[in-house]
Structure 1
Amino acid sequence: MEPYIISFILSLTLLWLGYYNKSKKAISVTFIIIALFILSLLAGFRDETVGLDLSYYFVPNYDAARAMSSKTALVYLFSTGLEPLYLLSIYVVSQFSYDYFLYFFLQEFLSLLLILIACNIKKYNVNYFFIFAIYLFYFYCQSLSLNRQVYAVSLIFLSYPLILKKKILKFVIVIIIAILFHSSAIICLSLYPIVRYGLRPIKRSFYYYFVIVFSGGIFYFIFPSLLNFLINYGILVQKYTRYLDEDYSIHKFDILILVVLYLNTFYKQLSLNFKNGIRLLIIISFFITLCGTYNDIASRAALYFQFCVLYLFAISLNNLSKKYRLRMMFSIIIIYLVSFVYQSSTTDLIQTVPYTSRSLGI
């Protein structure tokens, strides 16, 4: 755990300095880039055994891509059942380096950079320290294993400001690109109408929330049938059918996190439109998370909705007084930190704990 702890402390310190010195652009950018480099180097130097999915998807495809001609690679992109842009990224990097380091480093750096870009929208002034702190505790270790979805997550981050700006065509293009890296991103097509509807600044009645919860319950019960439909029509990879026959469970911390997020919507200074949008997304995220008992893809899809909630919180922080801003920010960060500490001490976090590196002698 030591490499993670040291890297997280260093990068968060630098990100904090970068955010609170943003008026001094050169200094701020320097702090941020160094922070991203630390996290990317940690990802780059890891062994190929750090991350469960690497042995299934990355290693065999990277090794095969090294010897491929461009013509063979073009056929290969559409013959394995894996998402073509993921395979294309492997092929391109494998032509420059036989070592896995370059791919691991670039993957993490580009993913973090896309998230940073999504947070640097002048109109909204997103608190990127808040976003990255949660990303590290919630998803960084997962990103070392979820070798395809890490691209989708960072691209979905780019879609959040497009929703707020009502740029529907650009939004759809970004989502399609994300789907070509990981098919679970298809659920994010629903984000645009959900967020736009949720952000209406009108007082919501009990009846409204009853309908949402009731609809969520129905979705939970029909989820296996819906999943089979998507698989049968080739929208999702066939392997997810097998997952329906396996036993899954959701972690109690996943539910506790959603409860903490919901409680943070009761600040009076939180604008009504953001309060409505965040609450709707939390309720939907809750039912998608519950579907994780059926299939692992639901747990992965819940990530997109939860990150959207956090993105809206990161914007809303600007509307709060300093006292309430710090209280909200650290109450949310702390619950993710506690979850990370607990899960890293009781599980291997998808085989990313312990961290090992032949290059670093760890």
Structure 2
Amino acid sequence: MIYIIVFLLSLLFAYLANKSKSKTECVFLLFISALFPILLAGFRDITIGTDTGNYYGKLVQALRYNTFDQFRKISDMEVGFVLFTYLCSKITDSQIVYFIFVHSLVIIPVFMAIYKCRSFVNFANALYIFYFLFYCTTLNTTRQAIAVSIVLLSLSYLVYNEKCKSLILIFFAYLFHRTAILFFFIYLIYIFTQKYNIRQNLGKYFIAITFILMFLYVLVNYFNILDVIIGQRENYATYLLSVDDSNISKSSLILYLFVFILIWRAYILYPNNLLSFFLIVSLFSIGMIFLTIIAPVFSRLNMYFNIIQVFSIPYILNNRFVAFNGKKKKLVSGFSKVTLFLYILILWYFSVIIKQSNQVYPYLFI
């Protein structure tokens, strides 16, 4: 099928980029790799994705207005996406070109983030996680997908202690989707885990995370905090309607529990600040999945926690975290990787092909 073919071609070039000794050659190969998912999104039919027609409708609206202020007044979306759509309308009226531009904002930040963290993240492994866990969702939640991708780039700067650039990117993500403000909380988690050793008090942190999630549930379900963040009740209603089936979250729970166990095991054996951050974020992610079963809207909020798996899974699959030596170490590392990647593929097949979530299968060209 087209998704598998595109993903494999992109992963092939990412693998070659990972092996390249030349920086210029590496960047070129990653550019080719990025073209495949971008073009796949650009050439899709307007029926692929639950809100694709709505976004193309915004471009059609923008074509009718001569000034940005006029278009802004009739738009109910965040100013960043409104400005982006308006600028696109001055370049093209083509649906294909517009969606290529839009998905470039989704894919390019992900590639930039992975490239920046190449010292501890394998290109192909990270992209495998992104494609089979997140790509099909990006064909629906377009504005939030852009925000989530920018947030991942923000994290890549934060990991290298470039806090100012990281904060600027959080603000930039907020301009595309207001829920990106949630990443500021993740930003604080990262700062906290770099300063304090969580190993001795993991139980206390687990209890604290439980209470924080309960508090968040109350805010969302009883005080309509998302209504306030997103801005308008109509927008909030649309946001709720675009939420995925919670059955998918139940299936993904096994995956994230397995990932948590791998992170916890690695942290016990080889504790470091980055693993402690991944551990806390993984706990929040699992907690949000449980909340999703109760209130499906949390599946959208959890995207900001889940996207970090693009970094954490390849990081923990590094065989230096395996408590064996020689051939046994390679065998255990290889078995863990194959098991995890195979389950992710099965989960993707169940979600996209069988459950047909996100309305992306069967794929249709324009």
TM-score, length-scaled by structure 1: 0.86
Aligned to 1:288: 288
What secondary structure sits across from 2:284 in the alignment? helix
Q: CA deviation at 1:136?
A: 0.7
Out of 252-261 and 330-339, give the one that drifted further.
330-339
Q: 1:141 to 1:217 in 2, by over 3 A?
A: closer
What secondary structure sits across from 1:145 in the alignment? coil
Q: Does the 8 A contact of 1:127 with 1:317 survive in 2?
A: no
Match of residue 343, structure 1, among 331, 345, 351:
351
Q: How many residues align?
A: 352
| Structure 2: gaps of 5 or more residues | 323-328
The AA in structure 2 aligned to 1:350 is N
How far apart are the structure 1 equivalents of 2:202 and 2:24?
A: 50
Q: 1:134 to 1:313 in 2, by over 3 A?
A: closer
> Is residue 2:218 matched to residue 1:222?
yes
How far apart are the structure 2 equivalents of 1:109 and 1:240?
A: 24
**Alignment map for 1:1-362 (pairs within 5 Å):** 2-19=1-18, 21-56=19-54, 58-70=55-67, 73-121=68-116, 124-199=119-194, 200-205=196-201, 207-216=203-212, 218-219=214-215, 221-225=217-221, 228-232=224-228, 235-239=230-234, 241-242=236-237, 249-251=246-248, 252-265=250-263, 266-267=265-266, 270-293=270-293, 295-317=295-317, 319-320=320-321, 323=330, 325-358=333-366
Q: 1:221 to 1:257 in 2, by over 3 A?
A: same
| Structure 1: gaps of 5 or more residues | none
How far apart are the structure 2 equivalents of 1:306 and 1:130?
A: 16
Q: CA deviation at 1:179?
A: 1.3
Q: 1:217 to 1:131 in 2, by over 3 A?
A: same
Deviation per CA, 1:258-282: give whole Å up to 9, x if none: 1111121213654343332222111
Q: Does the 8 A contact of 2:158 with 2:166 survive in 1?
A: yes
How far apart are the structure 2 equivalents of 1:309 and 1:198?
A: 17
Deviation per CA, 1:146-180: give whole Å up to 9, x if none: 22122112100111123223433332221111111
TM-score, length-scaled by structure 2: 0.85
The AA in structure 1 aligned to 2:81 is Y
Q: CA deviation at 1:289?
A: 2.5
How far apart are the structure 2 equivalents of 1:95 and 1:206?
A: 54
Q: 1:30 to 1:170 in 2, by over 3 A?
A: closer
Q: CA deviation at 1:111?
A: 2.4
What secondary structure sits across from 1:48 in the alignment? coil
Out of 122-131 and 41-50, give the one that drifted further.
122-131
Q: CA deviation at 1:315?
A: 4.1
How far apart are the structure 1 equivalents of 2:275 and 2:13?
A: 31
Q: 1:209 to 1:16 in 2, by over 3 A?
A: same
Q: CA deviation at 1:356?
A: 0.4
What secondary structure sits across from 1:355 in the alignment? coil
Q: Does the 8 A contact of 1:155 with 1:178 survive in 2?
A: yes
Q: Does the 8 A contact of 1:61 with 1:90 survive in 2?
A: yes
Q: 1:64 to 1:293 in 2, by over 3 A?
A: same
Q: 1:35 to 1:207 in 2, by over 3 A?
A: closer
Out of 282-291 and 246-255, give the one that drifted further.
246-255
Q: 1:315 to 1:97 in 2, by over 3 A?
A: same
Q: Does the 8 A contact of 2:129 with 2:309 survive in 1?
A: no
Aligned to 2:326: none
Q: Does the 8 A contact of 1:111 with 1:150 survive in 2?
A: yes
How far apart are the structure 2 equivalents of 1:275 and 1:145?
A: 31
How far apart are the structure 2 equivalents of 1:257 and 1:237?
A: 35
Q: CA deviation at 1:243?
A: 7.0
RMSD: 2.8
Out of 31-40 and 186-195, give the one that drifted further.
31-40
- The structure with the greater share of residues assigned to helix is 2
What secondary structure sits across from 1:52 in the alignment? coil
What secondary structure sits across from 2:259 in the alignment? helix
Q: 1:209 to 1:250 in 2, by over 3 A?
A: farther
Q: Does the 8 A contact of 1:224 with 1:244 survive in 2?
A: no
